[in-house]
Structure 1
Amino acid sequence: MTSYVALLRAVNVGGTGKLPMTELKAICVAEGFENVRTYIASGNVVFSTGRSELEVKVALEKRLAAYAGKPVRVAVRTAKEIKEVLRANPFPDAPPNWTVAIFLDSPPPADTLDLVKGRQDEEVRLGKREIYVAFGAGMGRSKLKIPIEAGGTARNINTIAKLAELAAAI
């Protein structure tokens, strides 16, 4: 059995993609996942299963599309990978609530940093399958645009730390 973290894109954020976490948990249990736990209302779930990462992603996206009536993108990481994302944070001294990792399905393209627009005081670095951003004055005022971000989902360092802790415990 492998412990996984699944991160749903655009769920319960800004009035879009309403999905109660009780429903997300029920979807995961119906899919046969074990030790299912959700964390905060923004589409974070940890669980264990004998399936591969790709199988987990496909199964969740299929069930979520049926529930929502539209595609819902899911980023999946193993417990080990989510811990590595946390450890690889290139901005350890930045406020963790203003620092995010944008989770992608594959490595960010080499020209990702060249395509960033609207940068003010933000710092951006590439990870394995993530883009790290430290928002100097906070996310709410930022005009930062990272085109590849549209295919991913972001979580702040506090959330990533909690998800790593939960995933390690199952």
Structure 2
Amino acid sequence: MTMYAALLRGINVGGHRKVPMAELRTLLTGLGHGDVRTHLQSGNAVFSSDSGDENTLAVELERAIEEQFGFAVECLVRDAAYLAAVAGACPFPAAELPPKELHITFFDQPVDAARFAPLDAAAFRPEEFRLGERALYLHAPGGLGGSKLAAALSRPSLNKDLVATSRNWNTVTKLVEMTGGDA
């Protein structure tokens, strides 16, 4: 059995697209997964499965959520080894930064630097970003809420044909811990 994290995009924000975590746990268990737990109310779940295909797991979860709740939710599923590798590859000094300054955006597919080339990254300093494997690391010293770089990075023109969802550093490290990964 492999441990996975499911990252649901855009739920329980502003009272819209509500997915109660207890119901998400029941849904994941009903799909045949074990060791199901959730973290926070923002769409983070961990579970074990003998399936080795993250994309199939994500599609199954998306279908089940739409059937259960009546609306579509994009999901990314990542295994424990991937989460630990992404956390371990952080290009910023995570141990020295307040966790609210560091975020990771997970993508459904590899993304190359050419996608973000139209962005004048120097204009957003001291904020900065780096690309990783199906991930983007964002250092926003003022936090995400007022980050002009985060707003620019989330423009539809830069994210065309991508499923993306972001998590703060505390959530990423908690998901690594919950899945038994080693960062």
TM-score (normalizing by structure 1): 0.91
Partner residue in 2 for 1:11: 11
Q: Which residue matches 2:65?
A: 64
2:168 counterpart of 1:156: yes
Aligned counterpart, 2:113: 110
Instruction: Tell me which residue corresponds to 1:165.
Output: 177
CA distance in 2: counterparts of 1:41 and 1:116, whole angstroms? 32
Point out where structure 1 has 5 or more consecutive residues left out of the alignment: none
**Is 1:38 matched up with 2:38?**
yes
Q: Which residue of the partner structure matches residue 73 of structure 1?
A: 74
**What are the within-5 Å matches in structure 2 for residues 75-94 of structure 1?**
75-92=76-93, 93-94=96-97
- Find the aligned partners of 2:2 and 2:114 in 1 and give their Cα distance: 33
Is 1:140 the counterpart of 2:148? The answer is: no
Going from structure 1 to structure 2, the CA distance change for 1:116 and 1:16 (only over 3 Å counts) comes to farther
Q: Aligned-residue CA RMSD in angstroms?
A: 1.9
Candidates 86, 94, 98, aligned match of 1:95: 98
Q: 1:168 is matched by which residue type in structure 2?
A: G
Amino acid at match of 1:160: V
TM-fit CA distance, 1:73: 0.6
After superposition, the Cα gap between the structure-2 partners of 1:119 and 1:71, relative to the gap in structure 1 and judged at 3 Å, is farther
What's the TM-score once normalised by structure 2's chain length? 0.85
Indicate if the aligned counterparts of 2:106 and 2:134 stay in contact, CA closer than 8 A. yes
Deviates more, 1:13-22 or 1:76-85: 13-22
Moved more, 53-62 or 29-38: 53-62
Runs of 4+ that moved beyond 4 A = none
Contact 2:8-2:73 at 8 Å conserved across structures: yes
Structure 2 gaps of 5+ residues are none
Deviation at 1:120, TM superposition (A): 4.7
